[in-house]
Amino acid sequence: MRFVLNGHPEDVDAHPMARLLDVLRNQCGLTGTKEGCGEGECGACTVLVDGDPVCSCLIPVSQIEDSAVVTIEGLGEDHPLQHMFMNEVGAQCGICTPGMIMAAQVLGPAPTLDEIKAALAGNLCRCTGYSAIYRSIKKWKISTRELTPRRRDDA
């Protein structure tokens, strides 16, 4: 079975009903995607499939044939949101962090607090009470906006 994993074609020999989570962790060797509950409640295993955040514990691998899958490893080791999560203490124990960061990828350039909350509503964190996660994302968006040349109609 073939899909695109973090920008590169990937061939795996897996049972069609194998969980994408297990294929990523055990066959592709990408352990940045975590299992928290195995039933789609905690969001620790969030990855992007064709740009949408999904719980990889709920996706049979046959469903992603020819799709593009992005995991936390696909963002590189030095993504600005990763740094913000450490600096702002959006990550404490860190186990929910990869899933949080993946879920946050779909946010627009200037999300409101309610938009951030809605985007992360399927991702549980037991350490932070979420406030520091909001701060991490807001600062990331502000820094991204500052780095991007503003178009005239933004002014």
Q: What angle do CA 8, 14, 17 make, to 5 degrees?
A: 110
Stretch of 27-35, 59-67, 104-112, 146-154 lying at the interface with another protein (CB under 8 A)? 27-35
Instruction: Provide the residue count of the chain.
Output: 155
Q: How many CB atoms lie within 10 A of CB 65?
A: 10
d(CA 134, CA 110): 12
d(CA 56, CA 110): 27
Q: What angle do CA 54, 123, 11 make, to 5 degrees?
A: 30
Residue 20 near another protein by CB under 8 A = no
Compute the least distance from the CB of residue 150 to another protein, in Å. 28
Residue 27 near another protein by CB under 8 A = no
Residue 13 near another protein by CB under 8 A = no
d(CA 107, CA 132): 17
* Binders in 72-91 for another protein, by CB under 8 A: 72-73, 75-79, 81-83, 85-89, 91
Among 4, 67, 124, 138, the residue binding another protein under the rule CB under 8 A is: 124
Question: Which residues have CB under 8 Å from 82's CB, separation 6+?
Answer: 75, 101
- Contact, 104 vs 120, CB < 8 A? yes
Residue 36 near another protein by CB under 8 A = yes
Residue 112 near another protein by CB under 8 A = no
The 47-66 site mask, x for binding another protein (CB under 8 A), equals --------------------
Cβ closest to another protein, residue 114 vs residue 153: 114
**Interface residues toward another protein, by CB under 8 A:** 25, 30-39, 41-42, 44, 71-73, 75-79, 81-83, 85-89, 91-98, 101, 116-118, 120-132
